[in-house]
Structure 1
Amino acid sequence: MRITVLAVPQCPNAPVVQARISAALQGRYASVDLVEVADQDQAALTGMTGSPTVLIDGVDPFAVPGAPPSVSCRLYRGADGRVEGSPSVEDLRRALASARVR
């Protein structure tokens, strides 16, 4: 499994999402890469729809249909309704489990 975090340089939520990914993996191995996206053209090329965007095997499990590529901050709404700058550990666990099923 390959996990890619797309983020603008110095995104304050990039370290948060990386820590949550580690917690969601629960000791299992996955390749986790941080890719800095500096401009709108790069966002379109990589599929970043806000910083940070998490890709699992190249797929954004949190994608909002019709969301355009963007170098803006991205917000995630959790199952409890809270809005944060990163998916929750539980939401990441669900996404990782779904990715393994594909």
Structure 2
Amino acid sequence: MKVELLHIVDCPNTAVAEEHARAALDALGLADVPVELVTIRTEAEAADAPFGGSPTILVDGVDLFPTAPVRSLACRVYATGSGYAGAPTQEQIEAALRGASR
């Protein structure tokens, strides 16, 4: 399993998304799976990647939270149980990872 976190430079939600992804992987017994940070620096890179905005979490190249691709250096918003946030919760990532492993 390859987990990538695509983000733009200075995204204020990168650290939170990485923390939640790492905790979700650990909780599912996948502590040996790294979370690779991938910086999207240009609009061309955004257009060439499965980038849904910063941060985007990919598992084996597929967005855990499918959305329309973003062709610009944009932020992303996730709907959570407590409102909109700049990163999915650990629980949301765990549920998406369970679905991705099926």
Verify same fold: TM over 0.5.
Answer: yes
Is the 2:43–2:72 Cα contact (8 Å) retained in structure 1?
yes
The answer to whether the 8 Å contact 2:50/2:61 transfers is: no
- Displacement over 3 Å in runs of 4+: none
Q: Identity of aligned pairs, percent?
A: 35
Q: Residues 27-72 of structure 1, C-alpha deviation per residue, up to 9 Å, x if partnerless?
A: 52213100100111100111212111110111002122x4433311
> How many residues are aligned here?
99
Aligned to 2:88: 87
Q: Show the counterpart of 2:11.
A: 11
Task: Please give the root-mean-square deviation of Cα atoms over the aligned residues, in Å.
Answer: 1.4
| 1-structure distance, mates of 2:69, 2:39 | 19
- Is 1:48 the counterpart of 2:51 in the alignment? yes
The 8 Å contact of residues 49 and 70 in structure 1, kept in 2 or not, is answered as: no
Question: Structure 2-normalised TM-score?
Answer: 0.88
Structure 2 runs not aligned, ≥5 long: none
Question: Where do 5+ consecutive residues of structure 1 fail to align?
Answer: none
Normalising by structure 1, report the TM-score: 0.88
How far off its partner does 1:81 sit? 5.6
Q: Which amino acid aligns with 1:71?
A: L
